[in-house]
Chains A and B, each alone.
Chain A
Amino acid sequence: MALSREQIAQRVAQELQDGFYVNLGIGIPTLVANFIPKDIEVMLQSENGLLGMGAFPTEDEVDADLINAGKQTVTMAAGASIFDSAESFAMIRGGHVDLTVLGAFEVDVNGNIASYMIPGKLIKGMGGAMDLVAGADNIIVTMTHASKHGESKLLSNCTLPLTGKGCIKKVLTDLAFIEIKAGKFHLLERAPGVSVAEIIELTQGELVIEGDIPEMKFS
């Protein structure tokens, strides 16, 4: 079975480490916050100028001056700090954020990512995504493995305008956990019940399979 959005978030959360500063993109990445293991401390960075993002507010706590990068009302966790946009992107560009999780339309074997524009259809802008992929060393891309029409999103070459070049090393899809190195995809794990053959079928770029590929584990 392909993973649900929640299961993708849950698997990403297993990559979090105690003391990590983490930036979560909009969509599935945002859900990762719901699965942070109870025994570790993680601080969430929101690029509009908040480090230490808390839960959504109750109706009484709503504050128009306190939002996240998705423009949703939020709260601040204990130990939070507020800063301006230049400071926020100094953190991001300076490589101070330990893990960035973001969505994409396409990723290719050279670690290129396309996530912000579909010419003629979707031209909303890159927001902070280009800064995040250029600035972070440790990035996990979350997306579905293929489109609704069965077209692979893991390609030998991205076809859409790029968000970043040669910057992606890990991709978690609804079918597989994949590492990118030396110009190839490497299959690390498969979703429970999904066969290696199904993953090969839906991966257009070169995919290396070494030994037995374990299933993802969810506790």
Chain B
Amino acid sequence: MSGFDKVVHSYEEAMAGLTDNMTIIAGGFGLCGIPENLISEIKHKGTRGLTLVSNNCGVDDFGLGLLLPDRQISKIIASYVGENAEFERQMMSGELSVELTPQGTLAEKMRAGGAGIPAFYTATGVGTPVAEGKDERQFNGRDYILEEAIVGDFAIVKAWKADRYGNLVFRKTARNFNPMAATAGKITVVEVEEIVEPGQLDPDEIHTPGIYVNRLIQSSFEKRIEQRTTRAAGE
């Protein structure tokens, strides 16, 4: 099968073409819904000088944190990066450049990038360090700043299910940034838990249409939990 069939059979094939100094947009929130095997493949490949666009940067030994020990990331654009000792060390020493970006602005930068919108105005960040050097303009008496869209050389995405054509369904809050990331990659690579035949997903239930997806691979996932918080049964 070819044509719209996006399935690849190895991680090497999934990340083929990734070279030093590229920009990668990654889905995920904390460790939830991260493309964990694609990240491992980037570590394995040893690609360096990368700009990563992701809400967070994983923890020391899982997720995007895996790319830190070999200094593969030179810049990260993220909203919250607090869970990672090696990250803090590299940031403080200047080895890693960090562009802190409000979470909603980050989501919108990806969405706009994927939708061919080069920039947008938002009230988020007005009067704060985020506004420095950005155009400001008033609409209806309120101040807004101009934020530019982001497009990645690659986007790496984790979905729950897909059909061979790359139509995607996400599961619960593992959706988060993944649908926007999927639209904003020049090459979008998606890893999923299950691949079905075209026609087996209800078109009304597809979250991301396959037009955004270039490569698709099935795998298994550790799905590590960052903050396991429970209540006693019956409470």
Chain B residues, Cβ within 8 Å of A62: 225, 228, 230
- B38 on the A face (CB < 8 A): no
Per a CB cutoff under 8 Å, which of B32, B230, B231 touches A67?
B32
Chain B residues, Cβ within 8 Å of A74: 229
Chain A residues numbered 42-70 whose CB sits less than 8 Å from any CB in chain B: 46-50, 55-60, 62-68, 70
Per a CB cutoff under 8 Å, which of A59, A85, A125 touches B107?
A85
- A135 on the B face (CB < 8 A): yes
- B177 on the A face (CB < 8 A): yes
B224 → chain A closest CB, angstroms = 7
By the criterion of a CB under 8 Å from any partner CB, how many residues of chain B are at the interface?
Answer: 57
Chain B residues, Cβ within 8 Å of A135: 104, 123-124
Q: Which residue of B lies closest to A57 (CB)?
A: B230
Mostly, the A contact residues are loop
Chain A residues numbered 141-178 whose CB sits less than 8 Å from any CB in chain B: 161-166
Mostly, the B contact residues are loop
Once the chains bind, are A58 and B172 in contact (CB under 8 Å)? no
- A86 on the B face (CB < 8 A): yes
Chain A residues, Cβ within 8 Å of B224: 64
Q: Which residues of A come within 8 Å of B, CB atoms?
A: 46-50, 55-60, 62-68, 70-74, 76, 82-86, 88-89, 92-93, 112, 117, 123-131, 134-135, 161-166
Which A-B residue pairs are the 7 nearest by beta carbons? A165-B127, A89-B104, A124-B82, A131-B104, A64-B223, A130-B102, A85-B107
